[in-house]
Amino acid sequence: MSAAALHDLTLAQQGAALASGQTTSVALTQHALDRVAAHAALGAFLHVDAAGALAAAAASDARRAAGQPLGPLDGVPIAHKDIFVTQGQPTTAASKMLAGYRSPFDATVVAQLQAAGVVSLGKLNCDEFAMGGANENSAYSVARNPWDTSRIPGGSSGGSAVAVAARLVAGTTGTDTGGSIRQPAALCGITGIKPTYGRCSRYGMIAFASSLDQAGPMARSAEDCALLLDAMSGFDPRDATSAETVQLHDGSPAANQPGVIGKDLAALKLAADLADAARPLAGLRVGVPKEFFGEGVSADVLAATRAALGQLQQLGATLVDVSLPRTELSIPVYYIIAPAEASSNLSRYDGVKFGHRAAKYSDLNDMYRKTRAEGFGPEVKRRIMIGTYVLSHGYYDAYYLQAQKLRRMIADDFQAAFQVCDVIAGPVSPTVARAIGSSTDPVQDYLADIFTLPASLAGLPGMSVPCGFGEHGMPAGLQLIGNYWQEARLLHMAQAFQQVTDWHQRAPATLA
Ligand code: GLN
């Protein structure tokens, strides 16, 4: 195969090319490494492990040569968000606090993907401790949107989105606490899915807000996201909120383990093809929440989203008006709960057990103070202070407790909507990607999370699917939100959409 074609292949196509002997894992990996080096200015990677990747690729080729039965991802190069701890590669969470940190173990998600045979090229840039929506909070480097390098890629999984959109690798891992998979996927024109809370293990995923954090895949197509998610997901006894049992699309129970989503998706596809192959979404009720289409959404994003809804109708879906009346409240609720949990989770970075420690200090308190002042960036400090405040005596009831109650009501609103629809659709981000450095006020950025926060607070699966381009030729994403465990349903819908649209196949012209 010609070298130029390799980076255009999806994960599924790379897997097929490997299976048929058209290419080798070493060839794919070397090509990806060359491309990562050529496009280093995009700032996608914080660490590249060329030697480790080539060794893993050679091992995959050897497995194949020995005739071992291999899964579809064996030998395919990917990369991990630097929020997942990795034994063989440094882990920083894009924070100075963890400069030089080496984990003694692999995150479960990393280990599961490794068991599926993937080759990890290295660690991807992100916002510090996954706090942010622009990748501007990375302590190490600016990440640039491949569609216009003067613009943000979104965040916090910005590097994960850049690497896929620039076709450095065909798939990456990300994490989503309040939108960090969906929003950068939308802003970079790629596909990403945040699973139901509890589907993927949080073990070894550096904690931000533990009641919200979820891992998920980012790739160009829904088909590739399905392959990755299928390998990443599963019950893990080392994560106290990991789910032992999930549901299939018809509501029947199944053990949470790798392979479940793939089988469920295959069953859905078969049923749809048998019923009416031309209208694979026949019978599906798509809820359109009026709060997602009101003021605050820019005209270009609205137009792209509406056009996508029309496409879903042509595929057989019925649109149903629904309401998520507490959508606006999700912003204050999230920006109380997430910092509260963060302030607690980040108390472990005390200069004693992990990472950075100030060089000079007079006593223990002074050591803590200087270590944390030096190690954390401004946004992380802001959130630790907000979190500490809302949890403090005298304020707890007014803020944290109140937010918890509203969180429950936001989840109830979704259940009311799901009485009349199967899936909810709307925009991911109210605008396309803004210019790097153009934000003057953190609250302005918090407001842009309005459409991703509700599903996070409810623990529901949410997906971003490329649905067109808006102002400045920048990509927009369609968000699909399912009820609990309906990931296969979302992936099936997205696949059907991607069979009749080519937004996900477009690539930035400057990066041929
Ligand atoms: N943008 C949101 C925040 O800043 C979401 C981040 C995330 O999902 N990790 O908290």
Supply the pLDDT for residue 1: 56
Please spell the DSSP secondary structure of 48-76, one letter per residue. Answer: E-HHHHHHHHHHHHHHHHTT----TTTT-
Which atom of ligand 1 is least distant from the CA of 181? 8
Supply the pLDDT for residue 2: 57
* Centroid of ligand 1 to alpha carbon of 191 (angstroms): 18
Q: What are phi and psi of 120, to 5 degrees?
A: -95, 120
Residue whose Cα lies nearest atom 5 of ligand 1: it is 178
- CB of residue 108 inside a 6 A radius of ligand 1: no
Q: Which helix (H) or strand (E) holds 46?
A: strand 45-48
* Centroid of ligand 1 to alpha carbon of 272 (angstroms): 36
Contacts of 289 (CB under 8 A, 6+ apart): 322, 323, 324, 327, 417, 424, 426
Of 172, 193, 132, 177, which is closest to residue 479 (Cα–Cα)?
A: 193
Q: What is the DSSP letter of 126?
A: -
Q: What are phi and psi of 485, to 5 degrees?
A: 70, 10
- CB of residue 280 inside a 6 A radius of ligand 1: no
On whether the pTM is more than 0.95, the answer is: yes
Integer Cα distance of 103 and 84 in angstroms: 10
Q: Please choose from 138, 152, 177, 464 the residue to mutate so as to test ligand 1's pocket, defined by most ligand atoms within 8 A of CB.
A: 177
Contacts of 55 (CB under 8 A, 6+ apart): none
Residue whose Cα lies nearest atom 3 of ligand 1: it is 132
- Burial environment of residue 420 by CB neighbours within 10 A (0 to 12, 13 to 18, 19 or more): exposed
Do 174 and 135 form a contact (C-beta atoms < 8 A)? no
Q: Please choose from 125, 131, 337, 343 the residue to mutate so as to test ligand 1's pocket, defined by most ligand atoms within 8 A of CB.
A: 131
Kindly give the interhelix angle for 222-232 and 260-276, rounded to the nearest 10 degrees.
140
Residue whose Cα lies nearest atom 4 of ligand 1: it is 132
Integer Cα distance of 422 and 419 in angstroms: 8
Supply the pLDDT for residue 506: 97
- CB of residue 126 inside a 6 A radius of ligand 1: no
Helices marked H in 89-245 — which ranges?
108-115, 158-165, 182-188, 222-232
* Centroid of ligand 1 to alpha carbon of 154 (angstroms): 10
Cis peptide bond N-terminal to 221, omega within 30:
no
Supply the pLDDT for residue 511: 83
Strand-pair partners of 176: 214
Integer Cα distance of 69 and 391 in angstroms: 53
Contacts of 109 (CB under 8 A, 6+ apart): 84, 173, 200, 201, 204, 205, 215, 232
Catalytic residue numbers read 81, 156, 180
Do 379 and 309 form a contact (C-beta atoms < 8 A)? no
Supply the pLDDT for residue 500: 97
Q: What is the mean pLDDT of each run of 10 residues along the chain (512 residues)?
A: 78 98 98 98 98 98 97 98 97 97 97 98 98 98 98 98 98 98 98 98 98 98 98 98 98 98 97 95 98 95 98 98 98 98 97 93 97 98 97 91 97 98 98 96 95 98 98 98 98 98 94 78
Q: What are phi and psi of 281, to 5 degrees?
A: -105, 15
Integer Cα distance of 108 and 176 in angstroms: 16
* Centroid of ligand 1 to alpha carbon of 185 (angstroms): 13
Q: What is the DSSP letter of 18?
A: H
- CB of residue 156 inside a 6 A radius of ligand 1: yes
Q: How do 423-427 and 285-289 pair as beta strands?
A: parallel
Integer Cα distance of 219 and 167 in angstroms: 9
Helices marked H in 355-418 — which ranges?
364-375, 378-391, 402-417
- CB of residue 342 inside a 6 A radius of ligand 1: no
Integer Cα distance of 286 and 100 in angstroms: 47
